[in-house]
């Protein structure tokens, strides 16, 4: 029997809770139909959109076929129109994670320096390290945002790439587009900037928007997007990169897989399902405000959340908080050093958020 990452997390959370906790969790799990409330992966529980669901069910009959080139071209064309860019600047991937890994392999070679925030999403740095890169993690600032001046200060002639995760996972904070633009403009020419905008659709605030148009500028820039978040298609695996045509070609040659027929059809359908996208955003933002309001009321610190998750200080070792939540059948995010007492909580459905807040109040009062 092979265990999935999820099985292992669930099992380790139960172990953390100890035998009594594990039993309680199992009891409560059984009472709630056996399924834990999963708030640890930054998934969007409202997806896939109705249009994407229909597209996937219709595509079943074509599961014996490779995705048609024309169909993939049409999807790339639609993505290019959406980004207001030429189609030869788009590279599709089996999730943006695959493209981040490919970029890590591509730019991490020969001991190159890769600069990233700490903490940040680790897919690219991890794969760059596999290739022998020298990682230069730069701690986030006091507001838990990327420390751009410190990142610029870390650049040397051996620096090959800088990874900006905007909004950042796990902290949730975002940089204004103007700050990213100024940062990129001031970099030496040999440095590539990789901007991961997985959560950009959930931002609220002045100038918190994509810098995809930078790929047409003088500096080398790669922007990444995913259908796992606002489109709610994490299990279908689809994402794409936007970059200069020559870099797009290199990236395309480096990826190991191509998106499957269900992902291609679902992505095409979801792109046009504007009602679903607007409704998802509205609901996630409303729940986000509900969570931060409650955190404020409970006197718990949090980083300004701009994604579909909230990073907050539990006020106790995270291991303990995790086990207390597990005992209430709720799975929360893992430890992100050095934030030993902080937890990342994904914004689930409204009832899931209500259950989380009830559990949080109980844990805080205990």
Count residues near ligand PLP (CB under 6 A).
13
Question: Is 78 within 8 Å of 227 (Cβ atoms)?
Answer: no
Interface positions, 8-67, toward ligand PLP (CB under 6 A): 42
Q: Whole-angstrom Cα distance, residue 248 to residue 2?
A: 36
C-beta atoms surrounding 287 within 10 Å: 21
Single residue of 59, 90, 102, 165 touching ligand PLP by CB under 6 A: 165
Nearer to ligand PLP, 169 or 210 (CB): 169
Q: Whole-angstrom Cα distance, residue 85 to residue 214?
A: 11
For residue 191, what are the CA distances in angstroms to 74, 75, 270? 32, 30, 34
Q: Residue 50's beta-bridge partner residues?
A: none
Find, among 184, 189, 163, the residue nearest to 107 by Cα. 163
Single residue of 29, 47, 67, 95 touching ligand PLP by CB under 6 A: 95
Q: Where are the alpha helices (DSSP H) in 212-334?
A: 245-254, 261-271, 274-298, 318-327
**Segment contacting ligand PLP (CB under 6 A): 94-102, 177-185, 241-249, 346-354?**
94-102
- What is residue 150's three-state secondary structure? helix
Contact between 323 and ligand PLP (CB under 6 A)? no
User: Residue 145, class by beta-carbon neighbours within 10 Å (0-12 exposed, 13-18 middle, 19+ buried)?
Assistant: buried
Contact between 239 and ligand PLP (CB under 6 A)? yes
Helix (H) or strand (E) holding 350: helix 350-365
Nearer to ligand PLP, 119 or 239 (CB): 239
**Segment contacting ligand PLP (CB under 6 A): 32-40, 92-100, 246-254, 264-272?**
92-100
Contact between 234 and ligand PLP (CB under 6 A)? yes
Nearer to ligand PLP, 37 or 165 (CB): 165
Q: Whole-angstrom Cα distance, residue 196 to residue 40?
A: 20
Contact between 243 and ligand PLP (CB under 6 A)? no
Q: Whole-angstrom Cα distance, residue 147 to residue 60?
A: 47
**Segment contacting ligand PLP (CB under 6 A): 22-30, 149-157, 226-234, 261-269?**
226-234
Interface positions, 186-205, toward ligand PLP (CB under 6 A): 196, 198
Min separation Cβ 43 and ligand PLP, Å: 8
Contact between 228 and ligand PLP (CB under 6 A)? yes
**Segment contacting ligand PLP (CB under 6 A): 15-23, 72-80, 93-101, 208-216?**
93-101
Summarize as ranges the residues that interact with ligand PLP (CB under 6 A).
42, 95-97, 121, 165, 169, 196, 198, 226, 228, 234, 239
């Amino acid at each position: 029997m092979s265990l999935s990452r999820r099985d292992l997390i669930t099992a380790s959370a139960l172990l953390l809770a100890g035998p009594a906790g594990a039993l309680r969790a199992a009891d409560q799990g059984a009472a709630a139909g056996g399924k834990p409330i999963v708030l640890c992966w930054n998934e969007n529980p409202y997806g896939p959109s109705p249009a994407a669901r229909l597209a996937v069910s219709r595509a079943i009959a074509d599961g014996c076929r490779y995705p048609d080139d024309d169909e993939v071209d049409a999807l790339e064309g639609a993505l290019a129109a959406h980004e207001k860019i030429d189609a030869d600047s788009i590279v599709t991937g089996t999730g943006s994670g695959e493209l981040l890994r490919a970029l890590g392999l591509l730019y991490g070679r020969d001991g190159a320096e890769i600069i990233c925030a700490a903490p940040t999403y680790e897919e690219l740095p991890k794969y760059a390290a596999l290739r022998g890169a020298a990682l230069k993690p730069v701690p986030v600032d006091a507001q838990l945002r990327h420390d751009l001046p410190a990142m610029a200060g870390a650049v040397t002639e051996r620096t090959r790439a800088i990874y900006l995760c905007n909004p950042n996972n796990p902290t949730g904070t975002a940089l204004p587009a103007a700050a990213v633009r100024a940062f990129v403009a001031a970099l030496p020419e040999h440095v590539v900037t990789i901007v991961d905008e997985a959560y950009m659709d959930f931002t609220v605030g002045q100038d918190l928007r994509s810098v995809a148009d930078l790929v047409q500028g003088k500096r080398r820039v790669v922007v990444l997007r995913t259908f796992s978040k606002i489109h709610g298609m994490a299990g279908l695996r689809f994402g794409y990169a936007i970059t200069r045509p020559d870099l797009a070609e290199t990236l395309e040659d480096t990826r190991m897989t191509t998106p499957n027929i269900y992902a291609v059809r679902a992505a095409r359908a979801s792109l046009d399902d504007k009602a679903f996208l607007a409704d998802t955003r509205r609901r996630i933002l409303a729940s986000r405000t509900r969570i931060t309001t409650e955190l404020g009321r409970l006197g718990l610190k949090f980083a300004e959340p701009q994604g579909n998750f909230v990073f907050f200080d539990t006020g106790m070792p995270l291991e303990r908080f995790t086990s207390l939540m597990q005992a209430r059948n709720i799975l929360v995010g893992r430890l992100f050093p050095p934030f030993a007492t902080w937890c990342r909580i994904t914004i689930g459905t409204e009832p899931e958020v209500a259950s989380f807040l009830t559990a949080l109040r109980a844990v805080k009062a205990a």
